[in-house]
Amino acid sequence: MPSDQRPPNRLLQALPAADFELTRQHLQIVELTRDFILVEAGRPLAQVWLPHSGIISLAVSLSDGQAIEVAMLGNDGIVGAPEALSDAVALTDAVVLCPGAASVLAVADLKMIADKSIAWRQLLAVHHQALLAQAQQSVACNAAHSVEERLSRWLLRAHELWQGEALPMTQELLARMLGVQRNAVSIVAHALQQAGVISYSRGHIEILDQEALRKTSCECYRAAKSKQAHLFR
- Sorted by where each begins, the domain ranges of the chain are 10-120, 146-217
Helix (H) or strand (E) holding 186: helix 182-194
> DSSP secondary structure string, 69-130?
EEEEESTT--BSHHHHHTTPPPSSEEEEEE-EEEEEEEHHHHHHHHHH-HHHHHHHHHHHHH
* pLDDT value, residue 164: 64
* Nearest to 73, CA basis, from 89, 92, 97: 97
Of the options 2.30.30.790, 1.10.10.10, 2.40.10.120, 2.60.40.10, the CATH number for the domain spanning 146-217: 1.10.10.10
DSSP assigned state of 233:
-
CA geometry: angle 199, 150, 73, nearest 5 deg: 85
Tell me the whole-structure pTM to 2 decimals: 0.91
* pLDDT value, residue 203: 87
DSSP assigned state of 36:
-
Q: What's the distance, CA 191 to chain centroid?
A: 26
* Nearest to 111, CA basis, from 75, 78, 82, 91: 82
The tens place of each residue's pLDDT in the chain, 233 residues long, gives: 555 589 999 999 999 999 999 999 999 999 999 999 999 999 999 999 999 999 999 998 888 878 889 999 999 999 999 888 888 889 899 999 999 999 999 999 999 999 999 999 999 999 999 899 899 999 899 889 999 999 999 999 999 999 767 999 999 999 988 989 999 999 999 999 999 999 998 889 999 999 999 999 999 988 888 877 776 76
* pLDDT value, residue 231: 67
- What would the CATH number be for the domain defined by 10-120? 2.60.120.10
* pLDDT value, residue 123: 93
Q: What's the distance, CA 6 to chain centroid?
A: 20
